Every structure is written in C-alpha cells, then in structure tokens.
Amino acid sequence: MLGRVCAIRILQAIPTLLGVATLVFFLLHLVPGDPVDALLGESALVADREAMRHALHLDLPLIQQYTAFLGGLFTGDWGNSIVDGRNVFELIMERLPATAELAAFSLVLALVLALPLGYWAARHAGSSKDYAAMSFSLLGVSIPNFWLGPMLMLLFSVTLGWLPVSGMDAPGSIILPAITLGTALAAILSRMARSSWLEAMSSDAMRTARASGVSEQKIWWRHAARLAAVPVVTMFALQLGAVLGGAVITETVFDWPGLGLLTIEAIQRRDYPLVQGCVLIIAGFYVLANLLADLLGLWLDPRQRHGS
C-alpha cells in the first residue's frame, strides 16, 4: 500500500519537473526584448549579432530550441555561459557545496532553536512565556533577511569585531549568514511545533493516556511528541526547498559564493544560459523537497495514505 502510493507520488513529480523546465525555458525566450540587444547593445554590428544569435541557438525555430534544451537537461549539456564560455552545469556544481553548507547550518540552527521554543510555548500555552516565545516567532517571520544580515554584520563584525564581515574563507564566517537565513525558518518551525504539540495534547489518545495514569512528562515527550512530529517533519522538509530561495538574498548580502549569489551575478551580467540553469536547479531541488515532504507525511501518518 505504502509502496504503491509513494510510487504514484514520485511519478507525479516527473510532469511537474517537466513543467518547471518548460516554464523556465519560455520565461527566458518569450519575454519582450531581444537578449542579443541586451547583451551587445543596439548599436552592435550585424555580423556580431548574428554570431551571438548562432552561438545561443537563437537562430533556430523556437520548438527546435525547446527540444534541444530538454535533451540537454538529461545529458548535462546546459549550454555555456555567455560571459566566460564555461559549461553552465559545471559552474553550478562548483557553487553548489557552498550553498549546501549554508543551507545545512541554517536548517540545523532553525531546528535547534525552534523545537525547544515550540515545546516551551506549548507547555506554557496562554501564559506570558508563550506570549514571549510567539512574539519572537512573529518577529522572525517579519524581519526581512536583507536587513537582518546588515544589522548583524554591523553589530558582530563592525562594532564588536567578533566575526568576519563577509565571504567564506575566514573561520566563523558561516555564523552570520546561517543566523540570517535560519531565523525565519526557526520562526515558522517553532509556530508549527507549538500548534502541533497543542493539537496532539488535546487529542482523545492523550486523555486516555492521562486517565490510565501515564505521567505528564511521558505524555508530552513520548505520546504527543510522536503525533506532533508529523506536521513538523513535513514542514521541515518543505523548508529544505524554501531555504534555497532565501539563500539568493542571504548570499548576496554576505558575498557567500554559492548558487544564490551565482544567480544574481548571472542576472546582473545578463548571462541568460546561466540564469536559466540556476533557476532550474533551485526549482528542481524545491520540487524534490516538496516530494520528500509528501513521502515523509505518508510514511509517518498512515491516515494520509488513504484518499490519495
């Protein structure tokens, strides 16, 4: 049963990925304005324009460009950067580890902050402790990361001199970017943890457990935690994808040489094949994270297996 439902979900992700690739392709090919004009300027020589057009395969019919693009996705031929002529896929793979490192640190930080906070708020629901915890979480979802980053930099790097300002070479350079990226995640997760824990605690199963003399501590940690974990784990998996979107801004703020910064550099240099590749890979990871969230939900919560 579980295997079949999972297989269906995995198969369903294939057309979604194809749709994503198609949207990215048309996004870059159907927008107003000529990319060659944008790259070379309108005063460029006709011969130069034609050469560029040919190099980017823009002289082919759209449908042929599209099939070549789809074919290239599978063979690793994602085109070449206009700026330095290097293979787009290689460029992306070079930057991927830095983003993975930042994402991993941020997610771990978010979890370490969110779970105790959510538990604490749920345990003291309705009290001033709950109020304080949830105010922090509201603060976390509302603070723009492109402001939080500079403010942290100002305090910890410039004023106190404890941490490096930017880049990733100096020791401790990951701390501020990870806090910047992880804050919103921690806020969202702690809210989720709090409400799931409370919901679990109010279920009949907990009332039964309490009535049969199970200790309060055990109910919170053994019984309710297991129920509450389902939405929290699912949300965490969703954040695996969302963190890549946030990385675009955080990496720009801290000059962190990952995929996000590469995307923005490519946009600024109008390096269309590279923009295409970057957007595609981030969206691809996002789809996979959503799929993972789905599968985890199915695995943890048997109720979800029905009706799907």
Partner 1 sequence: MVPDMMTGLVQTAGKTVFALLSVPLLVLIAALILGADGRAVNLDAILAGSSTAHPLGTDALGRDLLARLAEGLTLSLSVGVIVVLLGSLIGISIGVTAAWMGGWVDAVLMRVADIVLSFPGILLAIALAAMLGPGVENLVMALVAVGWVGFSRLARAQVLALKHAPYVEASLAGGSSVGYIATRHLLPNIAAPLLVEASFGLAAVIIGEAGLSFLGVGVQPPAASLGTMIKEGTGLMLVEPLLVFWPGLILFMVVMAVNLLGDRLRDRLDVKGNSGGA
Interface contacts to partner 1, rule CB under 8 A: 15-17, 19-20, 22-24, 27-28, 31-33, 121, 125-128, 130-131, 134-135, 138-139, 141-144, 146-147, 150-151, 153-154, 158, 184, 187-188, 191-192, 195, 198-199, 202, 241-242, 244-246, 248-249, 252-253, 263-264, 267-268, 275, 279, 282-283, 286-287, 290
Which one, 275 or 298, has the nearer CB to partner 1? 275
Which one, 79 or 241, has the nearer CB to partner 1? 241
- State the nearest-atom distance from the C-beta of 198 to partner 1, in Å: 5
For the range 170-173, what are the long-range contacts, defined as Cβ-Cβ under 8 Å and sequence gap of 24 or more? 173/254
Inter-residue contact 274 to 82 (CB < 8 Å): yes
Q: What does residue 80 show for φ and ψ, rounded to 5 degrees?
A: -115, 150
Inter-residue contact 261 to 251 (CB < 8 Å): yes
- State the nearest-atom distance from the C-beta of 289 to partner 1, in Å: 10
User: Which three-class secondary structure state does DSSP give residue 130?
Assistant: helix
Which one, 2 or 38, has the nearer CB to partner 1? 38
Which one, 178 or 244, has the nearer CB to partner 1? 244
Can you read off the two tokens belonging to residue 49?
């324009």
- State the nearest-atom distance from the C-beta of 260 to partner 1, in Å: 9
- State the nearest-atom distance from the C-beta of 236 to partner 1, in Å: 14
- State the nearest-atom distance from the C-beta of 209 to partner 1, in Å: 18
Rounded-to-integer distance, Cα 8 and Cα 197, Å? 30
Can you read off the two tokens belonging to residue 283?
């969206």
- State the nearest-atom distance from the C-beta of 47 to partner 1, in Å: 26
User: Residue-wise over 150-184: b if at least 16 C-beta within 10 A, else e?
Assistant: eebbeebbeeeeebbebebeeeebbbbbbbbbbbb
Which one, 178 or 248, has the nearer CB to partner 1? 248
Rounded-to-integer distance, Cα 20 and Cα 43, Å? 35
Which one, 25 or 89, has the nearer CB to partner 1? 25
| Beta bridge partners of residue 80, listed in sequence order | 87
Inter-residue contact 53 to 36 (CB < 8 Å): yes
